[in-house]
Homo-oligomer: A and B are copies of this chain.
Amino acid sequence: MIRVFTSARILDTGRGTDDATRVVDILVDGMKISRIAGHVDPPMGASVVDASRYLVTPGFVNAHGHLAMTLLRGLADEVSLDVWLHDYMFPRETLMNGDDIYYGSLLALAEGIMSGTTTFAEMYFFEDDVARAVNEAGVRANLSTGTASLDNERGKLEKSEEFVVRWNNKADGRIRTSFGPHAPYTASPEFIRENFERARDLGVIVQFHLHETRKEIEEFTATYGASPISYYADRGYFENPPRLLAAHCVHMTARDAEILRDAGASIALNVQSNLKLGSGIADYRLLLGSGVNLCVGTDGAASNDNLDMLEELRVLGLLMKGSTMDASGISNASLLAMATANGGRALGFDDVGTLSEGAAADLVFWDLEDESFCPRNNVVSHLLWSANSRAVDSVMVAGSWVMEHRQLLGIDIDKVRFEVARRARRLASG
């Protein structure tokens, strides 16, 4: 399929250097953007669409989350991470089956698409069912099985690896896979190291939670004599590491940040989850100055409580400015890059998150007639600080529509809502 979008106002959030938008024609050939120019002559048989009403951006890359946690949305709003996890999440997660995960993931993907996300990081379980959902929904994702060493299940790492091999680069390359050792408080250092090694051997990334709360660091330090990052570094885990994606990193020293930077790691910031669970506020001056590749995730819907990346990005930007008392500390362009190109890089999709020739045709069409873009003083500013998902008109992934004029195409949303509702009732009743 060849499509030409004419007179589209585009914003290449991947550049991160300035705020300018341009009005251009875009030629999408198959799964890629093949040409962007002031005028494109439509090839024979191309479908030509007037896009003058829209701001076209790369889709958001949600760099950390647990899709099927939509099932557990709203179960506990006023508790800290450890209570939330042990008293509310873990007990219900043991009751979940593969179909629960499938439908919960589809709801998450629908929410993501409706708010402009085209690529998802995922760490949960029954990942074959997640892969099935991602494949059908038509989106892009990097999937991992969340694994812990501190429980009784045997062979977890082997199963995780089998999943990695089974699904990597499937669904026309829309699915990548990764290892997902859960966190320093559920996975032993030795288990973390083994995950790093297998990931390096297979050329995939490792997703894990890191330095999320003070309690995590204090308890780890009490046992091992150093913080998780220091301990792993001192034992050489970061020498010749695989591509690492560390989620959270709320509590960091300058040395921690240097270690991650030198390891080429990315950090997925999850500001709403961290605030809501009382985990704290990161030192953004440190993180922004560290040179680490910063990206943005929503975390699961049970702690956020939605998968709206624009909302997440706005809160992150506000907090960066407010907590440092420096309104100029972060530019609009840098923030938008964090939610797009930086995330693509972190998840191993290097052609994702930018709007340029040869890049993936993962596009969001924002309706500039929405009141949030009025008056058009600065469209980039309005997108970042004023608009919300109401303005998302259409979404394309790898050259195919996943939502067209607010109608989801790959997901039967009525069925998904019905299934999620009845499954959530079962889980909530214990």
A307-322 toward B: CB 8 Å interface, digit per residue (1/0)?
0100100010111011
B residues less than 8 Å from A111 (CB atoms): 371-372
Q: Compute how far the CA of A317 lies from the CA of B276 in the bound complex, rounded to whole angstroms.
A: 8
Residue A79, interface by CB 8 Å = yes
Interface size on A, residues (CB 8 A): 72
Q: Compute how far the CA of A214 lies from the CA of B324 in the bound complex, rounded to whole angstroms.
A: 13
Q: Compute how far the CA of A164 lies from the CA of B344 in the bound complex, rounded to whole angstroms.
A: 56
Q: Is A78 within 8 A of B375, CB to CB? A: no
Q: Compute how far the CA of A420 lies from the CA of B77 in the bound complex, rounded to whole angstroms.
A: 40
Within 8 Å by CB of A322, from B274, B306, B327, B331, lies B274
B residues less than 8 Å from A382 (CB atoms): 73-74, 305
B residues less than 8 Å from A107 (CB atoms): 371, 374
Residue A71, interface by CB 8 Å = yes
Residue A49, interface by CB 8 Å = no
Residue A72, interface by CB 8 Å = yes
Q: Compute how far the CA of A70 lies from the CA of B374 in the bound complex, rounded to whole angstroms.
A: 8
Nearest CB to that of A391 among chain B residues? B390
Q: Is B378 within 8 A of A75, CB to CB? A: yes
Nearest CB to that of A310 among chain B residues? B388
7 new A-B contacts, CB < 8 A, other than A110-B371, A305-B382, A388-B389, are: A73-B374, A73-B382, A77-B381, A78-B327, A114-B371, A306-B372, A315-B315
Segment 370-401 of A: residues with Cβ below 8 Å from B: 371-372, 374-378, 381-382, 384-390
Q: Knowing A78-B328, A305-B382, A371-B111, say if A321 contacts B424 (CB, 8 Å).
A: no
Residue A428, interface by CB 8 Å = yes
Q: Compute how far the CA of A164 lies from the CA of B321 in the bound complex, rounded to whole angstroms.
A: 37
Kindly provide the distance from the CB of A352 to the nearest chain B CB, expressed in whole angstroms: 24
Q: Compute how far the CA of A376 lies from the CA of B77 in the bound complex, rounded to whole angstroms.
A: 14
Residue of A84, A301, A304, A306 ringed by the most chain B CB atoms within 10 A:
A306
B residues less than 8 Å from A389 (CB atoms): 388, 390
Q: Is A375 within 8 A of B424, CB to CB? A: yes
Kindly provide the distance from the CB of A406 to the nearest chain B CB, expressed in whole angstroms: 10
Q: Compute how far the CA of A306 lies from the CA of B390 in the bound complex, rounded to whole angstroms.
A: 13
B residues less than 8 Å from A70 (CB atoms): 374-375
Q: Would you call the interface of chain A mostly helix, strand, loop, or mixed?
A: helix
Residue A170, interface by CB 8 Å = no
Q: Compute how far the CA of A428 lies from the CA of B375 in the bound complex, rounded to whole angstroms.
A: 10
B residues less than 8 Å from A281 (CB atoms): 322-323
Residue A326, interface by CB 8 Å = yes
Segment 56-83 of A: residues with Cβ below 8 Å from B: 70-75, 77-80
Supply 8 A–B pairs (Cβ within 8 Å), ascending by A.
A70-B375, A74-B378, A78-B330, A79-B328, A275-B319, A276-B321, A276-B385, A306-B387
Copies in the complex: 2
Q: Is A385 within 8 A of B77, CB to CB? A: yes
Q: Compute how far the CA of A372 lies from the CA of B115 in the bound complex, rounded to whole angstroms.
A: 11
Q: Is B377 within 8 A of A428, CB to CB? A: yes
A409-424 toward B: CB 8 Å interface, digit per residue (1/0)?
0000100010011011
Residue A148, interface by CB 8 Å = no
Q: Is A385 within 8 A of B305, CB to CB? A: yes
Residue A44, interface by CB 8 Å = no
Q: Compute how far the CA of A82 lies from the CA of B72 in the bound complex, rounded to whole angstroms.
A: 44
B residues less than 8 Å from A328 (CB atoms): 78-80, 278
Q: Is B413 within 8 A of A75, CB to CB? A: no
Q: Is A385 within 8 A of B278, CB to CB? A: no
Kindly provide the distance from the CB of A175 to the nearest chain B CB, expressed in whole angstroms: 23
Q: Knowing A80-B327, A278-B325, say if A306 contacts B386 (CB, 8 Å).
A: yes
Q: Is B322 within 8 A of A279, CB to CB? A: yes
Q: Is A420 within 8 A of B319, CB to CB? A: no
Residue of A280, A374, A421, A425 ringed by the most chain B CB atoms within 10 A:
A374
Within 8 Å by CB of A311, from B78, B311, B326, B421, lies B311
Within 8 Å by CB of A73, from B272, B386, B425, B428, lies B386
